[in-house]
Amino acid sequence: MTAANDRTAALPPTCDFVALDFETANRDWTSICAVGLAFVAGGRIVANPSWLVRPPEMIFDPGFVRIHGITADQVADAPEFGDLWPLLAPHMEGRIIVAHNAEFDVNVLIRSLDRYRIPRPSAEYSCTKIIAQRTWPGLKRYGLAALAERNGIVFRHHDAGEDASVCAQVAIRACLEKGAADFASLHEGLRITRGRIYPDGHDPLREEPAASPLPAFGRWDSRLHARPEQLKRQQRARTLDDAVVDRAAGTGMINGYAVTLDSCTCADFQGRKTPCKHIYKLYFELNNGC
Ligand SMILES: [Zn+2]
């Protein structure tokens, strides 16, 4: 556990967004035993403080201790969240907060503030799990550990500071992957409406329907076209310019391969039996580039 209570000087005055992670001692939303933050400015993490926190009741569920390794002894002298908050509040007010499975962390935050009778900040929030689902569709798993592994990030899972850091790094990679100018515009591109916390309530984050994949054509189901490897073939198809198409027959010669909407003579198609870039090129040609 790297949480420490002496890193407050590291809190930066400005940032683009703040990644947040809570660990709790038991099932109770307000049983915070650790909090980690990662401040991102200019596309990099500029501060990554974390704190051990003494929950209002010293009830440490063994199942939770197994996950994060934090015991009652470790937090006996730590501040309660209500005492820590005045330090954090100026760094959350008006910011975009991001967490992995944000509904959990936002609920922990709101319920804990309510419990200590502290007014909620005004802030927006987002979720890296939903961002990742929209940025890298078709993965088997979207847990923090799976996303870290996929992005070559080594970390100790369920350490609040490290979890917040990985959350921030996933958000940064998503911005790079999508070519987003900043974290806010990433959401517009992904059709995610950020949630809002305000002093007397909160609005949940909303996922607008993703841009629909190509429709079914030939013998192919539309869900097939939404797979990441198929999306790449569609992108490559847009770069092909050697295409002679017989519109009436619905066939073509593309880069020297004989293509129908159902088949192609290229090695990619013969090996995988899923639409290759030539089949997509033919589809786009027959549908006037759409
Ligand atoms: Zn082909």
The CATH number given to whatever domain includes residue 73 is 3.30.420.10
Contacts 24+ apart (CB under 8 A), 72-76: 72/25, 74/1, 75/33
Question: 95 near 101, Cβ under 8 Å?
Answer: no
Q: From the CA of 234, how far away is ligand 1's center (Å)?
A: 12
Q: From the CA of 262, how far away is ligand 1's center (Å)?
A: 10
Q: From the CA of 46, how far away is ligand 1's center (Å)?
A: 47
- Tell me the pLDDT tens digit for each residue of 204-257: 998 876 666 788 999 999 889 988 788 889 888 878 889 999 999 999 999 999
C-alpha span between 229 and 139 (Å, rounded): 11
Neighbour tally for 164: CB within 10 Å: 28
Tell me if 3 is assigned to some domain.
Answer: no
The per-residue pLDDT for 121 is 94
The per-residue pLDDT for 15 is 67
Q: From the CA of 275, how far away is ligand 1's center (Å)?
A: 7
Domain shared by 195 and 142, yes or no: yes
| Strand 17-24 relative to strand 96-99, pairing | parallel
Q: Can you list the residues of the chain whose pLDDT is less than 70?
A: 1-15, 209-212, 289-290
Q: From the CA of 238, how far away is ligand 1's center (Å)?
A: 13
Q: From the CA of 235, how far away is ligand 1's center (Å)?
A: 14
Question: 32 near 23, Cβ under 8 Å?
Answer: yes
Ion ligand 1 residues within 5 Å by Cβ: 264, 266, 269, 276, 278
Q: From the CA of 249, how far away is ligand 1's center (Å)?
A: 18
Tell me if 214 is assigned to some domain.
Answer: no
Q: From the CA of 259, how far away is ligand 1's center (Å)?
A: 7
The per-residue pLDDT for 9 is 47
Tell me if 2 is assigned to some domain.
Answer: no
Q: From the CA of 152, how far away is ligand 1's center (Å)?
A: 32
Q: How many structural domains is the chain composed of?
A: 2
C-alpha span between 108 and 182 (Å, rounded): 27
Q: From the CA of 239, how far away is ligand 1's center (Å)?
A: 14
Domain shared by 35 and 178, yes or no: yes
Which of 172, 207, 242 lies at the terminal end of a domain, its last residue?
Answer: 207
CA-based nearest residue to 274, from 238, 230, 231, 237: 230
Q: From the CA of 283, how far away is ligand 1's center (Å)?
A: 12
Domain shared by 149 and 118, yes or no: yes
Domain interval for residue 242: 222-286
Q: From the CA of 219, how far away is ligand 1's center (Å)?
A: 15
Q: Tell me the sheet residues that pair with 51.
A: 35
The per-residue pLDDT for 6 is 43
Q: From the CA of 136, how far away is ligand 1's center (Å)?
A: 24
Domain shared by 70 and 102, yes or no: yes
Which of 181, 207, 233 lies at the terminal end of a domain, its last residue?
Answer: 207
Domain shared by 36 and 165, yes or no: yes
Tell me if 87 is assigned to some domain.
Answer: yes
Which of 207, 230, 254 lies at the terminal end of a domain, its last residue?
Answer: 207
